Amino acid sequence: MLEIKDVHATVGGSEILNGLSLTVNPGEVHAIMGPNGSGKSTLSNVITGRDGYEVTQGSLSFEGKNLLEMPPEIRAREGIFLSFQYPVEIPGVNNTYFLKAALNAKREHHGLEALDAIDFLDLAKEKRELVELDEKLANRNVNEGFSGGEKKRNEIFQMAVLEPKLAILDEVDSGLDIDALRVIAKGINSLRSPERSMILITHYQRLLDYIQPDFIHVLSEGRIVRSGGKELALELEEKGYSWLEKEPAA
């Protein structure tokens, strides 16, 4: 589904990704771990096509299509979703209205008819319950005045509505207390399916207790230095990242 080959990427002229390769097949959940500055967020920005992240070498393809030729909105409509670490506030724009516009842009891209307001509200209600998102929040302005936990719930709510093929969850656990983490993890787990892949980007092993990945990759200095099953996370928790950084790339 997602094929990243030997990608080098620069931000503001400095190289952050340095020969990263990763293959994600349908239904797989991959966790990307690594210390600050190892390139985790850059990876998500490169996959989603954010302005300012330049791929200087290597290739990225999604379902056989070259991602580098697509602007960010086309990648999104093709089925790539990013749950932001810091979801941005958009004053004056109603959350429901925003999401309906997003969903209909995607539907149009796939040759489907736009959902009308009534059908959309039914869908939104059903999905809202997955993450126990308060109806009031769903009708406020996008992320405006939301707490950290509410913003994250809203991200997963959006994911549930947009039904991506590939979801990248960037530090979805940051700033959450344990109860909120449970709710979000439950929502995410309910969205797992044999067709849907996920990339979890996280600092901590804690998240992986709730969402069990199929693979774990450790990122260091812009490339994957170690891959393994979920037992790798425990080892990391125990030893920290430093023991990997000293070893040559796997």
Residues that bind another protein (CB under 8 A): 48, 50-52, 71-73, 76-77, 81-82, 84, 87-88, 90-93, 98-99, 101-103, 105-106, 109, 141, 158, 162
The CA angle 38-39-45, to the nearest 5 degrees, is: 165
The residue among 97 and 210 lying less far from another protein, judged by its C-beta, is 97
* Beta-ladder partners of 17: 9
* In the complex, minimum distance from the CB of residue 245 to another protein, in angstroms, rounded to a whole number: 30
* In the complex, minimum distance from the CB of residue 53 to another protein, in angstroms, rounded to a whole number: 10
The residue among 101 and 249 lying less far from another protein, judged by its C-beta, is 101
How many beta carbons lie within 10 A of that of residue 176, not counting itself?
Answer: 20
- Distance (Å, whole) CA 184 – CA 187: 5
Asked if 78 and 70 count as a contact pair (C-beta separation under 8 A), the reply is yes
The residue among 112 and 234 lying less far from another protein, judged by its C-beta, is 112
The residue among 160 and 224 lying less far from another protein, judged by its C-beta, is 160
* In the complex, minimum distance from the CB of residue 139 to another protein, in angstroms, rounded to a whole number: 14
Residue whose C-alpha is closest to residue 233's, from 166, 22, 211, 171: 211
* In the complex, minimum distance from the CB of residue 141 to another protein, in angstroms, rounded to a whole number: 7
Residue whose C-alpha is closest to residue 200's, from 76, 189, 190: 189
